Amino acid sequence: MDGGLTAKLQWRVARVVDSSPETESARTIGLAVPGWGGHLAGQHIDLKLTAEDGYSAQRSYSLSRPADGERIELTVQRIADGEVSPYLTAVPPGEEIELRGPIGGWFVWRPAEEARILLVAGGSGIVPLMAMLRQRISRGSAEFRLVYSVRSPADIYYSQELSRLERDCDWLRVAVVYSRVAPPQTARPPGRIDCGDLAVPGWTNDDGLRAYVCGPTGFVESVTTMLIGQGHSPSAIRTERFGPSG
Ligand SMILES: Cc1cc2nc3c(=O)[nH]c(=O)nc-3n(C[C@H](O)[C@H](O)[C@H](O)COP(=O)(O)OP(=O)(O)OC[C@H]3O[C@@H](n4cnc5c(N)ncnc54)[C@H](O)[C@@H]3O)c2cc1C
């Protein structure tokens, strides 16, 4: 096995550096990982918590920012009856956590890739897609469209940053789709994402377009079915499933 792969698969101890609220139920957690060798936008880590009696639980979390030395960031949605996410969304700075990675070679975006990129996020599925947008700020020339499905305005992650990016970057358009509660004056009534939300004006499917779809399992499956129905090639659709449909 090559040395790089061995390092990625090895558990190492990271230290929580900071934690800040993203929404009422989600927090962004900064970690210092000694010897971190960098990662690609879209990759994730595996994280392991071990109790005093030796019981341990492992979960995957996407990296929400491009590599920045030995610092990485995650954004975790608290699942009320979950084993791991309630701990992570309350973890204090200074705490040590075991993790390994970076993991994943398919659900990644590399700045050298020129394609037009359609990002489709459901809830916390925005996390790896945000890493791609943040990567694009400093490198690359691809055009991006983000379709982001959330229950209500209060559930938008990275809200101010996304508004600023959309205002300042001519390579980005953002459409937020509210599934339960929309702000007043929103033309589209609240509801699940549909084919109309996924159609990008001015873009055709054979334009070198690639789609990244991320969120709860049911969301990813339904969006993928719609995209294929609209004529997108299955090989141009990359997906990441976070777990049960919420
Ligand atoms: C590649 C990958 C990347 C991921 N990245 C992120 C990320 O960036 N941020 C993030 O918050 N999560 C992410 N997840 C989901 C994460 O790994 C956990 O599944 C999630 O945090 C729940 O873990 P838990 O231990 O709190 O809940 P569990 O103890 O596993 O589950 C408790 C209950 O919640 C349900 N449940 C489990 N997961 C979900 C879910 N995602 N949505 C709704 N209900 C659920 C279970 O069916 C169960 O009923 C990712 C998953 C994968 C596979």
Q: Which long-range contacts (CB under 8 A, 24 or more apart) does 90-94 make?
A: 91/16, 91/19, 91/29, 92/16, 92/19, 93/16, 93/17, 93/18, 93/19, 94/15, 94/16
Q: Could you report the per-residue pLDDT of 150-188, keeping only the tens digit for each?
A: 999 999 999 999 999 999 999 999 999 999 999 998 999
Instruction: Judge if the beta carbon of residue 76 lies within 6 A of ligand 1.
Output: yes
Residue 2's SS3 state is: coil
Question: Is residue 4's pLDDT more than 80?
Answer: no
Residue 180's SS3 state is: coil
Which residue, among 99, 190, 106, 92, has the nearest Cα to 149 in the 3D structure? 190
How far apart are the CA of 225 and the centre of ligand 1, in A?
A: 23
Helix (H) or strand (E) segment spanning residue 212: strand 209-215
**pLDDT at res. 2:** 58
How far apart are the CA of 243 and the centre of ligand 1, in A?
A: 5
Q: Could you report the per-residue pLDDT of 42-91, keeping only the tens digit for each?
A: 999 999 999 999 999 999 999 999 989 999 999 999 999 999 999 999 99
Percent of the chain residues topping a pLDDT of 70: 95
Decide: 131 and 62 in contact? Cβ < 8 Å. Answer: yes
- Which ligand 1 atom sits closest to the C-alpha of 84? 25
Decide: 118 and 145 in contact? Cβ < 8 Å. Answer: yes
Q: Could you report the per-residue pLDDT of 180-238, keeping only the tens digit for each?
A: 999 998 999 999 999 999 988 788 766 679 999 999 999 999 999 999 999 899 999 99
Which residue, among 66, 1, 72, 61, has the nearest Cα to 35 in the 3D structure? 72
Name the residue of 27, 48, 61, 106 whose CB sits within 8 Å of the most ligand 1 atoms, as the mutation to test its pocket: 61
Instruction: Judge if the beta carbon of residue 153 lies within 6 A of ligand 1.
Output: no
Order of strands, edge to edge, in the sheet holding 44-50?
56-62, 44-50, 96-103, 12-23, 26-32, 71-77
Burial tier of 51 (Cβ tally within 10 Å: 0-12, 13-18, 19+): exposed
4 φ, ψ to 5°? -65, -45
| 159: Cβ contacts below 8 Å, ≥ 6 apart | none
Residue 115's SS3 state is: coil
